[in-house]
Chains A and B, each alone.
Chain A
Amino acid sequence: MSAAALSLAMRRGEVSSAEITKSVFSRIHAVEDRIGAYLTLCEERAMEQAFSIDARRAGGEELLPLAGIPIAIKDNICTKGVRTTCASKMLAHFVPPYDATVAEKLFAAGAVLIGKTNMDEFAMGSSCENSALGHTGNPHDLTRVPGGSSGGSAAALAAGEAVLALGSDTGGSVRQPASFCGVVGLKPTYGAVSRYGLVAFASSFDQIGPLARTVGDAAMLFHAICGFDPRDATSARRKDPDGLNPSDGDIRGLRVGLPREYFGAGVADEVRAAVLSSAEKLRAEGAIIREISLPSTDAALAAYYVIACAEASSNLARFDGVKYGYRAARFENLIDLYETTRSEGFGDEVKRRIMLGTMVLSTGYADAFYRRARRMQRRIASEFAEAFSACDLLLTPTAPTTAFHIGEKTDDPLRMYAADICTVTANLAGLPAISVPCGESGSGMPIGIQLIGPRFSEQLLFFVASYFEKLSGGFKCIAGGL
């Protein structure tokens, strides 16, 4: 059942939050040892929260739609009193003294925290294979990855281990796992959702986004977490978007751009075919489909990795063994404390990106790498702006392929990075983008379609995404397969 349906049922008194929460945990107890979506489960706390919501409702209190709904939160979003590890040895025992703004909003709205989900270490990766603390399988095929970095959140939804989930998206980390696991995932406009309490990977790109089994649920969760936050200087001072009813709108006359650079050689044939046939369906409904070009797309991946690594090298410098987190057992002096702690505490991919980032910011290299990448970022943003003068939104694959096999790309970081080609541009330009299921591959793996819109066009994205949802028959329960 969707969160919206559960919310309605609770309001009608047909089911209690305690019953829903209990059923989610019984599902978790049944499948979690095979899925591995969670790093931390909060069963006791969740049941307490659920009982308290039920008591309030019984007392006649008017509650928000999310009240009593079980939710999973990615383990890089701080939750007061609940271990927040970023799937790293570095923070394996770190318990934040404060709630992230989004967590604060969700708990205030009455959402029930099920647990913290697995991810690639510090959100660096596209498969969850870079987690130092857990292994997550794709519920559609356990030999395949769930995607990443928010793979735990996507897998939990697909396996029925949560009703809603939060992820974070720096270069596709919400959308790509949503696509791999057959769920809906939104990367909001940069600044739409507060980053306060999200452990930073690349500050310029990070956005917390909702994952859900239906577009309506994603919209409901987005509505609950967005809005200006004085604690995040980059959050946008604008009114919460109202009237987030995804069924409003009209496909007729909608101008949809297909940027040809997103359908190139790296894209699997069946992915290309599924996305193009989706475009055809839109055309049949009266949309205007036009092919466009975003010529700088081929430089986007390089620009993204230069800037993201540069910021990461600085953001992750605070993990030094002095204040919290992992500290090397043995060290000779201060420098040795830093070096040994960081050598032992970080995994290979994190170290690779810290070294890359340190290099691109160094005197003598910063002009050729960091500043050049920033120029490229501006060019990409202006190409999008131009595209949006001719189109209302853009339609692309979310990922070039369906979920790949575990271990398939772990030895080749560049091939792994290339899997982000369709998603990084929205982060570079700060645009909202949604991934919604649009079909299946021959081997039964979900294929996702990505819609990219102008800044703060989430409402339009939800509307068009819900249209695709109807076409593809909505979320497919995979309970039988497990």
Chain B
Amino acid sequence: MRERYEAAIGIETHAELNTKSKIFCPCKNEFGAPPNTDCCPVCTGMPGALPALNAEVVRSAIKMGYACACTIHNVCKQDRKNYFYPDLPKAYQISQFDIPLCENGFLDVTLDATGRKKRIGITRIHIEEDAGKLLHDSAASGTLIDYNRCGVPLIEIVSEPDLCSSAEVKAYLDMLRLTLLYLGISDCRMQEGSLRCDVNVSVRRAKTKTLGTRVEMKNVNSFSAVARAVDYEISRQIALLEAGGEIRQETRRWDDLKGESALLRTKEDAQDYRFFPEPDLLTIVIPSEQAEALRAQIPELPNARLGRFMTQYGLSYADAFLLIENRDRADLFEKTSALGVPPKTVANWLNGEVAHLLGERNMALAESHLEKKEFAAALIAIERGAISHTAGKTVIEALLFTDQTTEAFIAEKGLAQISDTNVLRAAAERVMTLNKKAVDDYRNGKTNVLEFLVGQCMRASKGTGNPALFRDILSELLTKEK
């Protein structure tokens, strides 16, 4: 049934910008302060207070515009969107209506491991202010309001309805998030609400052109919820059409716990926001040399980097994605590979042991001591067999959390791998004497005890013995002394 239909999905993403102060007042733009401590007459809408635009907000939005290949409107304005709600102290939101800062761009998204790409149209990117937060406190006498979030700067990124499935939506949002992170303009912390989505879904008969009636879904608070909401809505609309029904243009509210959506309002009771130009603010004028300077600051973007990592370094999609997901990790990967370490080795260690050790301590790579030169030295030592893989892990841990050098740490801890066969033979003989039963078992045909004996040898040598050589020597001794 599903293959007889095609879905068209467009996403409106609100990203909180990480500027130091709010969009229209000097209050701190920070998450997690005690309620109503980061606010002032301006962001709480006191009578007589006026907004003054934070230029950093415009700069951040323009960077996102350039990252999405948008046309930048060097001359644009801000507008009032009028509606009543307790979290909106002025009863209007300062936003942009008919002339957004950025328009008509796109975001390239790599969809899957095959490297298949899709270009998703970006309709517009505009700046606006966030509203406060309502706290429904059952202990108190009803609803409380925290105005700290009022005036937190947002950009709204509106996509074309170019996405066809929840998987594509997921890939788009991942790439959007990474792009914001690469630009350094948003922290993209979903759990703190710094990235939020409204999703527009319509379905139509396969191979027809005209888009179906669209339904907007609000309150979609995580990327995984977006995927669930999209799948639910596509199925709901198809089932409705199959039953001979008709899709109404409406807004629905997604309930992620129940896994279903409910009608919020129909087109008939859509609000009239009575947009008009914000008279308290001047026209935004961006001199072209300033715009050019911002364009020059755009780094290589994550999707381009993903593709390059796969072709230039021969990495798999999964390896490359894990690297580019974190700009610092990808940077360290490139710098370490440039010092002569095989890229695949660098990727494995970064995505494996390094990510694991940092994750355990909930630490970011940038906060650790790891840097390219010592990291490369350690990886080369492992590659050449100068230290064992096990010892390598100890070295990497030391490089991450202390300011040790690879060479000094190996020397200090005596981790250098021993490949002198005379030394190893003596150790193996000692182990065989101490493990008579295993030796007998081996000679009675249970040859799989060899690995146990190798392990014992490694233990006896405190990890410094070359395990491959131990294995050879043990096999030789076990067969010879029959």
Contact = CB atoms under 8 A, between A and B. Distances in A.
Interface residues of A, number: 44
17 contacts: A76-B48, A78-B47, A84-B47, A94-B47, A97-B46, A98-B41, A230-B52, A232-B52, A233-B281, A234-B279, A310-B276, A314-B82, A317-B82, A318-B47, A320-B84, A361-B275, A362-B274
A313 B272 CA distance: 14
A86 interface: yes
A231 B26 CA distance: 10
A366 B282 CA distance: 21
Contacts, number: 101
Chain B binding surface SS class? loop
B279 A203 contact: yes
A100 interface: yes
Contacts of B50: 195-196, 231-233
B232 interface: no
A358 B91 CA distance: 13
A96 B52 contact: no
Given A231-B52, A338-B84, A314 B92 contact: yes
A199 B48 contact: yes
B53 interface: yes
Contacts of B89: 318, 322-323
Interface of A: 76-78, 84, 86, 91, 94, 96-98, 100, 195-200, 202-204, 230-234, 310-311, 313-314, 317-320, 322-324, 334, 338, 358, 361-363, 366, 370
Contacts of A98: 41, 46, 49
Contact of A233 (B82, B92, B282): B282
B41 A97 contact: yes
Interface residues of B, number: 29
A313 B145 CA distance: 24
If over half of A's interface residues share one DSSP class (helix, strand or loop), that class is named, otherwise mixed; here it is loop
A233 B52 contact: yes
A94 B42 CA distance: 16
Contacts of A231: 42, 50, 52
A6 B137 CA distance: 59
B242 interface: no
B141 to A, nearest CB: 14
Which 10 pairs, one residue from A and one from B, show the smallest C-beta to C-beta distance? Answer: A317-B91, A203-B279, A361-B274, A199-B47, A197-B48, A204-B279, A78-B48, A199-B48, A318-B45, A318-B90
A100 B276 contact: no
Contacts of A320: 84, 86, 91
Contacts of B329: none
A231 B24 CA distance: 9
Given A231-B50, A317-B92, A320-B91, A311 B41 contact: no
Contacts of A97: 41, 46
B385 interface: no
Interface string B41-63: 11011111111110000000000
Interface string B65-83: 0000000000000001010
Nearest to A100: B48
A91 B52 contact: no
A202 B90 CA distance: 15
Given A233-B280, A362-B272, A318 B91 contact: yes
Contacts of A84: 47-48
Nearest to A202: B279
